[in-house]
């Protein structure tokens, strides 16, 4: 994260940050670069190198909230073939994969509630058993209402302008950026989703794939209920990216878990086998 006035450029494989002090960071060691200050200047050469090394770059607005990101045109040598395949995914396999994703999201929500002693987790388990193909009965929506009311109170709604919602939105935007990076790196289009199909959303597919990861944000906000959401709280939320979870019987940082899971979803879609999807488990 770059939070102060600085000039960023490229030099012999390093990102060079020239501010009050000069810092050098090897680009291959960077997964995500967040420019939190609008007074940061960057060279075009550096931007090209960040794209080439598949570094996710997030730009913030004057309020230090994420407002844009750098996405490459081509993330894979066989992007054209991947896009043709993506367009041809059948409604059947898309519906099957979406059913698995929704079920896992509700499962993670239930586990979070039960982990914190909230009996509503049992009700969500009931919703889980009722999920139909493609979630045609909208169990996800019913579960979300029970879930958020249990976490943050009966009067809580996601539409309100509150510090809790600001924290949730900030965390979700970080997770979304991880998924857009992996989707692009695998050669697919972020615009063409499985379920999300908003013509104004450039990240429909990322919005689909990230759903089971939302409870990681929710729990972090629950444990640090903010009465304001400013710079300090945003920096604390960024620690989410260092969280470790279990996936494929190994402990992995969140970024690696997103990579493993995303690739497994594409394997499931291409091979028409939803059992190939690898979901994370919270670290014990």
Q: What is the pLDDT of residues 32-58, one digit of tens each?
A: 898 988 999 999 999 999 988 888 898
Task: Write out the two tokens for 123.
Answer: 């009700």
Query: Using CA atoms, how far apart are residues 72 and 69, in angstroms rounded to an integer?
Result: 10
What is the arrangement of strands in the sheet containing 244-247, beginning at the earlier edge strand?
250-253, 244-247, 281-282
Which fold would CATH assign to domain 7-70? Ribosomal Protein L15; Chain: K; domain 2 (3.100.10)
- Is there a contact between 207 and 196 (Cβ–Cβ < 8 Å)? yes
Instruction: Give the other-Cβ count within 10 Å of 127's Cβ.
Output: 23
Task: Give the tens place of pLDDT for each residue, 194-214.
Answer: 999 888 788 899 999 999 999
Confidence check: pLDDT of 284 > 50: no
Could you tell me the residue ranges of all domains in the chain?
7-70, 79-282
Q: Report the residue count for the chain.
A: 284
pLDDT of 268 over the 50 cut? yes
> How many CB atoms within 10 Å of residue 265?
25
Q: What is the mean pLDDT of residues 86-101?
A: 96
Lowest-confidence pick of 209-213, 228-232, 243-247, 258-262: 228-232
Q: What digits encode the pLDDT tens for the residues 108-135?
A: 999 999 999 999 999 999 999 899 998 8
Is 79-282 in CATH node 1.10.287.3510?
no
User: How far does Cα 116 stand from its chain's mean position?
Assistant: 23
């Amino acid at each position: 994260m770059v939070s102060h006035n600085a000039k960023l450029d490229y030099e012999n494989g390093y990102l060079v940050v020239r501010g009050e002090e000069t810092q050098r960071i090897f680009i291959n060691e960077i997964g995500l670069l967040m420019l939190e200050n609008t007074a940061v200047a960057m060279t075009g050469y550096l931007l090209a190198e960040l794209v080439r090394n598949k570094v996710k770059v997030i730009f913030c607005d004057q309020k230090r909230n994420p407002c844009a990101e750098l996405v490459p045109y081509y993330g894979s040598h066989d992007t054209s073939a991947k896009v043709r395949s993506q367009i041809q995914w059948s409604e059947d396999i898309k519906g099957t994969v979406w059913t698995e994703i929704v079920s896992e999201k509700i499962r993670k929500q239930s586990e979070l509630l039960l982990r914190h002693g909230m009996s509503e987790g049992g009700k969500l388990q009931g919703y889980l058993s009722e999920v139909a193909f493609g979630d045609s009965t909208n169990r996800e929506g019913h579960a979300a209402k029970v879930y958020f009311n249990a976490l943050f109170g009966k009067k809580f709604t996601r539409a309100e302008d509150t510090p809790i919602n600001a924290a949730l939105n900030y965390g979700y935007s970080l997770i979304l950026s991880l998924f857009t990076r992996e989707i692009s790196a695998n050669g697919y289009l972020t615009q063409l989703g499985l379920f999300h199909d908003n013509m104004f959303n450039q990240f429909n597919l990322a919005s689909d794939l990230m759903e089971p990861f939302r409870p990681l944000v929710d729990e972090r906000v629950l444990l640090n209920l903010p009465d304001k959401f400013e710079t300090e709280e945003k920096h604390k939320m960024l620690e989410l990216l260092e969280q470790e979870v279990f996936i494929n019987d190994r402990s992995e940082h969140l970024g690696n878990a997103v990579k493993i899971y995303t690739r497994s979803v594409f394997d499931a879609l291409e091979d028409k086998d939803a059992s190939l999807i690898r979901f994370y488990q919270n670290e014990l």
